[in-house]
Amino acid sequence: MSQWLLICPHCDHRFGHVKITDAAVQEAYRDSHGTDAKPDLGEKKLTCPYCQMESLYGRFHLICELDSDKAKGKGV
Distance in Å from the first CA to the final CA of the chain: 17
Using DSSP, state whether 54 is helix, strand or coil. strand
Indicate the residue among 3 and 55 with the shorter CB distance to Zn ion.
55
Query: Nearest approach, Cβ of 43 to Zn ion (angstroms)?
Result: 18
Indicate the residue among 24 and 48 with the shorter CB distance to Zn ion.
48
CA-closest candidate to residue 35, choices 43, 24, 45: 24
Within 35-64, the residues that bind Zn ion by CB under 5 A are: 48, 50-51
Within 11-30, the residues that bind Zn ion by CB under 5 A are: 11
